[in-house]
Amino acid sequence: MIKSRRRLWFLIAILMGVVLFFAVLVAPTQNRLISGSTFGVSPDGYAAWYDFMKERKTIIERWQKPFDILEKSALENPITLLRIYGKYSRFIIDDREKQWVKQGNTLVILASQGRVTEAPFTTNHRTNFGDVTIETTRRKTGYSKAILEDDFGAIISQEKQSRGQIIYVTTPYLGANAYKLFPGNYQFLAHLVESTPGNKILVDEYIHGYKNKDLQETETDSNVLVYLLNTPLLIILIQGLLIILILIFANNNGMNKKKKIQRKIANNSQEYINALATILQNAKSRDFVLKTIEKAEKLQLQKKLGLKLDPQNLDSLIKVWSQRVGKSPMMLETLLKKSHKNYSSHDFKLLEWMKQWQTIHKEIYPQSSNHDNK
């Protein structure tokens, strides 16, 4: 009996280890999808810039298929492909992609690239499209033509490839949502993708994991590992718990143990919260709830910053937070000065709003001192 019990717990330990292993692999997936994606509404996403391009009547589309299909597709016009690699991504241009560029296509790459220099982290540059703000110390050298540069090297450079070209941008955040109040950045990125007149403009979303529905239907997973990596973490945990319950049930039946019936203890607080949430939802008081949460988040932020808990001037709160964390005030300013009503109509936007508040709080007590986004 003792051996059987030990064996059961040994199997449970192995199973939980496997679940945790895949949890580590799957957990950052959402961040990878959002960072640098035109679907992302977080500060490092590009949803605002994509909307900006649509508003200015630029013909631009999201590409959600493998490069092989793009390479083989018989398009009448050459293509400008914009790739924005998020903070979790690393990019490599292979020989096939270079050959595709040589055929007259343009590849625009936004990524953390180039060597780290002694340049200030934040620099402002006057251009024909307005002031452009750059936040990186990285610069590229050795390229024949610099599109934007300073004394430390090229920030944006152009590499000719026969009839095509590759444009390198040393920061992945040139036109991110965080720079929505910097029109020069948005205009300059628009200029880069429109630098080859007549090209069809595509934004590569496939590198962020997004796929067209028809492609999803035709693709099949070839092994269990691919299945697990593409399965949401919640489903993996549920499957693991079900297996554990089956093992426990089988073990208890085998040993013919009597089970004690335990009385379920009511959680009055939880029941009250659920009932209140139901009432507010039926009363369509979503805006009231968000307003209450927003007020609580501000008070919590004031408390962490050591400020009085009475209502604070937004500009003063932004200034104190920026001085404390050593970051640009734009991140908090965008969150505070944009009404919560913008997030009340969509659950996805609401989740992003809550994540942005979490990021603001975490910046005050970072888990690591290494915050070099170079």
- Rounded Cα distance between 344 and 353, Å, is 10
| pLDDT number for residue 368 | 39
- Rounded Cα distance between 211 and 250, Å, is 42
| pLDDT number for residue 194 | 95
Query: Are 78 and 105 in contact, with CB atoms under 8 Å apart?
Result: yes
The three-state secondary structure class of 54 is: helix
- Rounded Cα distance between 94 and 305, Å, is 48
From the list 116, 135, 50, 155, the residue with the least C-alpha distance to 330 is: 135
- Rounded Cα distance between 53 and 194, Å, is 11
- Rounded Cα distance between 23 and 234, Å, is 9
Q: How many CB atoms within 10 Å of residue 335?
A: 18
| pLDDT number for residue 218 | 64
- Rounded Cα distance between 166 and 332, Å, is 35
Q: How many CB atoms within 10 Å of residue 346?
A: 12
CA-to-CA dists, residue 309 to 291, 316, 341, angstroms: 17, 13, 24
Tokens of 61: 């589309």
Number of Cα atoms under 13 Å in the Cβ half of residue 192: 30
Which residues make Cβ contacts (< 8 Å) with residue 299, sequence separation at least 6?
309
For 199-219, the DSSP string reads PEEEEE-GGGT---HHHHHH-
How does pLDDT run along the chain (374 residues), one tens digit per residue? 566 667 667 766 776 666 666 555 544 445 556 789 999 999 999 999 999 999 999 999 999 999 988 887 756 689 999 999 987 667 788 999 999 999 999 999 999 999 999 999 999 999 999 999 999 999 998 767 999 999 999 999 999 999 999 999 999 999 999 999 999 999 999 999 999 998 999 999 999 988 887 776 665 544 445 555 555 555 666 666 667 777 776 666 655 555 555 555 555 556 655 665 666 566 556 677 777 777 788 888 878 877 776 666 777 778 887 888 877 788 777 777 765 555 555 666 677 777 887 888 887 765 434 444 44
| pLDDT number for residue 222 | 45
CA-to-CA dists, residue 79 to 2, 95, 186, 303, 334, angstroms: 68, 18, 20, 52, 34
- Rounded Cα distance between 258 and 213, Å, is 51
